[in-house]
Amino acid sequence: MKEIVSNLSDLSLGIVGCGWLGIRMAKKWQIKNHIYTTTTSKDKIQALASQNLNPTLVDFNTDCPSVEILTWKVVPSLDVLIITFPISSRKDHHIHNIQKRIDNFSKFIGSFDGQMFFMNSTSVYPSKQKEFTEDDMLVEKVSAEHLLRALYPQVNILRLGGLMGDDRQLSKYNVSNLDASVNHVHYEDIPAIIERMIENKSYAKLYNVVAPKHPTKREIISVQKNQTYIESTKEVGRLISSNKLIKELEYDFIYPNPKYFHY
């Protein structure tokens, strides 16, 4: 994995749900900070422990009365808590299950009042041919965000575009609708944005986190495969704007164009 320089130091950070993105953030921050992680997989516990990421096994999906979720012992020492596990998804957005996961999560972290970040998805926006901003889908209209913020009003919500970088390259996938524009983000930009928000002491913010350029899938795959591609006229498509984040945080994306994520 590529080594990335971090500006954070001497903080205790909890990453709840240390999957593909979580492990990359943890590896970036662990040199100068104290990192604590969770996973739902027993198989991952030893791997995370061997990397000094202090893992805890917990599953917020459980509704079995015999499975008790205890308060995370490290919570009182945490400065920042980052939520990367899926509270809802396209496959499971039933309000009962969302409420169950949030209830279990709240038992786990208790009355944590430090800085908090929730990684959600731009899939909350409908499939319409227009450019969407955060005002098109307020927190109150998204069940997972609304219920979480009711318990933790300080939570910052980041709606992430399609996660790319490292082994995730569009040319490796069986892709349809090649002339559609993408709403992707390189994973390296996400911890950099979180760092900026930690420095700013950001509170209860809502941002779309998507690279500002929106090439078509065909363009990206052609560049990744080193093939010649002649640009053609394309429809506006479904675009997710990150202008609010760029303006308020004065942030310049490390990878602004998905065509060059593989460099």
Residue 5 has pLDDT above 80, yes or no: no
Of the candidate ranges 21-25, 51-55, 89-93, 145-149, the one whose mean pLDDT is the lowest: 89-93
Residue 117 pLDDT class (50, 70, 90 cuts): very high
pLDDT per residue as tens digits for the range 194-244:
999 999 999 999 999 999 999 999 999 999 998 876 665 666 689 999 999
Kind plus residue range of the DSSP H or E element containing 24 = helix 20-29
Q: Are 59 and 85 in contact (CB under 8 A)?
A: no
Q: What mean pLDDT is reported for the chain? A: 93
Crossing angle for the helix pair 143-151 and 95-109, nearest 10 degrees? 30
Task: State how far Cα 127 lies from the chain centre.
Answer: 20
Cα–Cα distance measured from residue 250 to residue 196, given in angstroms and rounded to the nearest whole number: 9
Look up residue 27 and give its two tokens: 């590896």
User: For residue 157, what pLDDT is reported?
Assistant: 98
In the beta sheet, which residues pair with residue 209?
160
- The rounded Cα 102 to chain-centroid distance in angstroms is 17
Residue spans of the domains in the chain: they are 12-169+184-212+240-255
* Dist CA 238 CA 132 (whole Å): 8
Asked whether the whole model's pTM tops 0.75, one would answer: yes
- Residues 21-38 have a mean pLDDT of 97
Q: For the CA atoms of the chain, what is the radius of gyration?
A: 19
pLDDT attached to residue 2:
39
Give residue 1's pLDDT. Answer: 35
Percent of the chain whose predicted confidence (pLDDT) is above 70: 92
- Our measurement of the distance from residue 50's CA atom to the centroid of its chain's CA atoms, rounded to an integer in Å, reads 24
Q: What is the CATH number of domain 12-169+184-212+240-255?
A: 3.40.50.720
Kindly state the tokens that stand for 159.
């709606």
- pLDDT exceeds cutoff 70 at 128: yes
Going by the DSSP 8-state scheme, the letter that residue 174 receives in this structure is -
